[in-house]
């Protein structure tokens, strides 16, 4: 997952570098650049977490960034800044990473067990 999230970030960086220099393209591009490169950072923080609760929180942070990245990719395509085909692979990878991270959270929550009633 570390390599895969890093490769995702690198693909986002390359997409941003290829965007036109218009205000709209750069504004949307900076958003996708920020969220897309944050996924791997959140995942690496999760790997180094000190507890199951911290792990879950960090992975859920990565999931939020993936969702946001998907939104900005949609906007880039729908606004005509990029051809939909140029963001298709990134959107697919975001979906696959989401599925894997959801599985990680489910597994961690199952390991943690049900919350006790206080």
Domain positions in the chain: 2-110
Q: Which fold has domain 2-110?
A: de novo design (two linked rop proteins) (1.20.1440)
Q: What are phi and psi of 117, to 5 degrees?
A: -80, 130
What integer pLDDT is reported at residue 30 of this predicted model?
98
Is the pTM higher than 0.85? The answer reads yes
The rounded distance, in Å, linking the Cα atoms of 37 and 13 is 8
Q: Read off the pLDDT of residues 49-90 as tens digits, 9 standing for 90 and up.
A: 999 999 999 999 999 999 999 999 999 999 999 999 999 999
- Whether residue 13 has pLDDT greater than 80: yes
Would you say 24 and 81 are in contact if contact means Cβ atoms under 8 Å apart?
A: yes
The rounded distance, in Å, linking the Cα atoms of 26 and 20 is 7
Give me the DSSP letters along 42-55. HHHHHHT-SSHHHH
- Whether residue 99 has pLDDT greater than 90: yes
């Amino acid at each position: 997952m570390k390599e895969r999230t890093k490769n995702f970030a690198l693909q986002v960086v390359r997409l941003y570098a290829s965007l036109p220099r218009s205000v709209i393209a750069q504004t949307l591009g900076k958003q996708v650049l920020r969220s897309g490169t944050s996924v791997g950072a959140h995942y690496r923080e999760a790997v180094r977490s000190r507890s199951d609760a911290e792990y879950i929180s960090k992975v859920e942070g990565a999931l939020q960034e993936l969702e946001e990245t998907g939104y900005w990719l949609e906007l880039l395509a729908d606004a005509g800044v990029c051809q939909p085909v140029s963001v298709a692979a990134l959107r697919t990878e975001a979906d696959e990473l989401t599925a894997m991270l959801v599985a990680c959270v489910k597994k961690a929550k199952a390991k943690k067990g049900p919350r006790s009633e206080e």
